[in-house]
Structure 1
Amino acid sequence: MTTWNDVINHVRQRYEVLEDTDGWLRLRMDTGDGRTQQVALHHLPDLDWVEISSPVGKADAIDAHRLLELAGASEIGGAAVVDGVALLKHTVHLSVDEFERVLQLLVARADALEAELTEADDF
């Protein structure tokens, strides 16, 4: 059985951790072509799940309707706005293999959406 500590250790070995607080990790991943993408991981202990979220852009600076259309076309992630930032989010059961697969897909998709909707690499 995979634990939250297993996920934390997996992430620390592979990615640049920017912040590590109780139940939360924030990291930066290289997405190629000089681009990076920030990611937040939130442990949901009552369910043994991990919520993965990655910013797409400032909510008031992007076309929200277009974001919803693009996010809905993918098997990974749903769109949300938290503290004025548009995010792509997905929740996965605590399993390092499944976590890594979803993390890679979500980050690639969030970075592509950020590039398309903002033409920038702010996150």
Structure 2
Amino acid sequence: MATWQDLIAFVRTEYRVIEDGDDELRILIEYEDGRSQVIILAHEVLDSSEDWVQVASVCGRVADVDLKRLLEEIGQTSVVCGAAIMGDHVVLRHALPLENLDINEFTDPLTFVADTADQLEEMFFGGDGY
């Protein structure tokens, strides 16, 4: 996979797309227990030359969580993603360069971000809002 267009063509065939824009897709990951997680895929350009994809998922609102405890949990359990505050929300995210990207280098981190965000959302926010 070498381009953003190649990646989104793959995503459209393999995942449930719920929003589709030029440089951003939102997909829904659904779990057998009835829970779900929205994943945002965004096209990013690093240093005006390198195409990347950012994989992100909201866990909950910043105002509703003990950030120290949340970050400690992520530090102990997360291999792939990091946490950020974007607006009013805590977000897990991971970024990958598109050039020479193998499909498993995309699907595995995407699954990990979704699963981790869903687990943290349930653990720290007590719901399934994202």
Band the TM-score falls in, shorter-chain normalisation: over 0.9
**What residue number does 1:111 align with?**
118
Q: Do 1:114 and 1:121's aligned partners in 2 also have CA atoms closer than 8 Å?
A: yes
> Structure 1 stretches of 5 or more lacking a match?
none
- Residue type of the partner of 1:82? M
Among 91, 96, 100, the residue aligned to 1:92:
96
Which runs of structure 1 show a deviation greater than 6 angstroms over 4 or more consecutive aligned residues?
A: none
Q: Shift of the alpha carbon at 1:28?
A: 1.0
- Residue type of the partner of 1:21? G
Matched residue SS, 2:31: strand
Measured on the aligned residues, the alpha-carbon RMSD in Å equals 1.3
> Structure 2 stretches of 5 or more lacking a match?
none
Q: Which structure 2 residues correspond to residues 8-23 of structure 1 after superposition, within 5 A?
A: 8-23=8-23
Tell which structure's C-alpha radius of gyration is larger.
Answer: 2
Matched residue SS, 1:48: strand
TM-score, length basis structure 2: 0.87
Q: Which structure 2 residues correspond to residues 1-123 of structure 1 after superposition, within 5 A?
A: 1-45=1-45, 46-73=49-76, 74-94=78-98, 95=101, 96-123=103-130
Q: Deviations over 1:52-102 (max 9, x none)?
A: 110111111112111111222211111111120111111112223211111
Distance 2:87 2:18 in 1: 19
